[in-house]
Amino acid sequence: MLGSSRLSLAALQASLDDRRSEPGFAAMSGELLAVARILGEQKSLRNALADAGQPVQVRTGIATSLFGSQLSPLAMAVLSDVAAARWSNDADLVEALEQIGAQVAFISADTDGTLDRIENELFTFGRAVEQSPELQLALTDPAVASDRKGELIRNLVGPTGTPTTTALLTHMAANLRNRRPAAAIGSLSTLASAQRNQTVAEVRSAITLNDDQNTRLAAALTSMMGRQVRLNVVVDPDVLGGIVVRIGDDVIDGSIASRLDQARRAILA
């Protein structure tokens, strides 16, 4: 998401904290995700809401006529703000609705003390998806209906996961829109950490790090990034030795495997 879309999303996200005490705030997550699903399936509708060539009153009027009778007043107000904003394309509008819906869920979880558990559940399920080609295929197979994919998530996550984790992953599974499942889950994890002004660092190590190593690594990365860093540590035998740290699109590779690969390329050059 770039340009006007990025600016619009940032402004909408910043306004959510001012609404967190309003009645029906927590329930708004599900409402906005439901709208995102409908718009994701209906290109003509999302085009109408994202058309910057139309006056704001026209776009918000369309949103009200389509969803006014189905949404709570608070959710309708947020949807009207989304329709009034400028978007580079219709896909960005849908993505913004999803991110706002997820952020509402994370703000509510932060308030009721379940955000840590939700972050852990998202990370655990993301790892399960990465390690299971069968699960990846089930989630990305176009022959499998979206509702079936959502049902799969409810069966896998629902018995032990929080309702929030289950709802977010169910929506993700039914609305991938050509995204890789692991990438979509990673985006949710990033949003959850951002709620507490944290950054998530995925650390891959050949061995399990002890508490002291985790603490020192988190402190070093926090100092480097200028904000609190939360570690998700993965034991990966392919690393051989050292660690590989991924923060967003940035990779810090201090593994033996990487150095051996560099040496091999130098020899063959």
Same domain, 161 and 93: yes
DSSP string covering 21-72, please?
Answer: TSTTTTTHHHHHHHHHHHHHH-HHHHHHHH-TTS-HHHHHHHHHHHHTTTS-
Same domain, 176 and 208: no
Domain boundary among 194, 224, 256: 194
Tens of pLDDT, residue by residue over 120-160, are 999 899 989 988 999 999 999 999 999 899 999 999 998 99
pLDDT score of 15 more than 70: yes
Same domain, 80 and 47: yes
Please state which of the ranges 59-63, 108-112, 147-151, 261-265 shows the lowest mean pLDDT: 261-265
Quote the pLDDT of residue 263: 62
Q: What's the Cα-to-Cα distance from 34 to each of 40, 119, 220, 237, rounded to whole Å? A: 10, 22, 41, 41
Considering only residues 201 and 69, tell me which one the structure prediction assigns the higher pLDDT. 69
Quote the pLDDT of residue 130: 87
pLDDT score of 109 more than 90: yes
Domain boundary among 194, 222, 239: 194
Tens of pLDDT, residue by residue over 151-201, are 999 999 989 999 999 999 999 999 998 899 988 998 998 889 887 766 777
Quote the pLDDT of residue 209: 81
Mean per-residue pLDDT of the chain: 88
Percentage of the chain lying above the pLDDT 90 cut: 55
Which tokens go with 55? Answer: 């006056």
Same domain, 258 and 170: no
Q: How many other CB atoms are found less than 10 A from the CB of residue 28? A: 25
What's the pTM? 0.75
Quote the pLDDT of residue 66: 93
Same domain, 205 and 188: no
Same domain, 122 and 237: no
Count: domains in the chain: 2
Same domain, 31 and 146: yes
pLDDT score of 95 more than 90: yes
| Burial tier of 161 (Cβ tally within 10 Å: 0-12, 13-18, 19+) | buried
Domain boundary among 151, 167, 194: 194
Tens of pLDDT, residue by residue over 201-256, are 777 887 888 888 888 888 887 887 777 777 777 777 777 777 788 776 677 777 77
DSSP class of 236: -
Same domain, 20 and 122: yes
Provide the domain limits for residue 251: 198-268
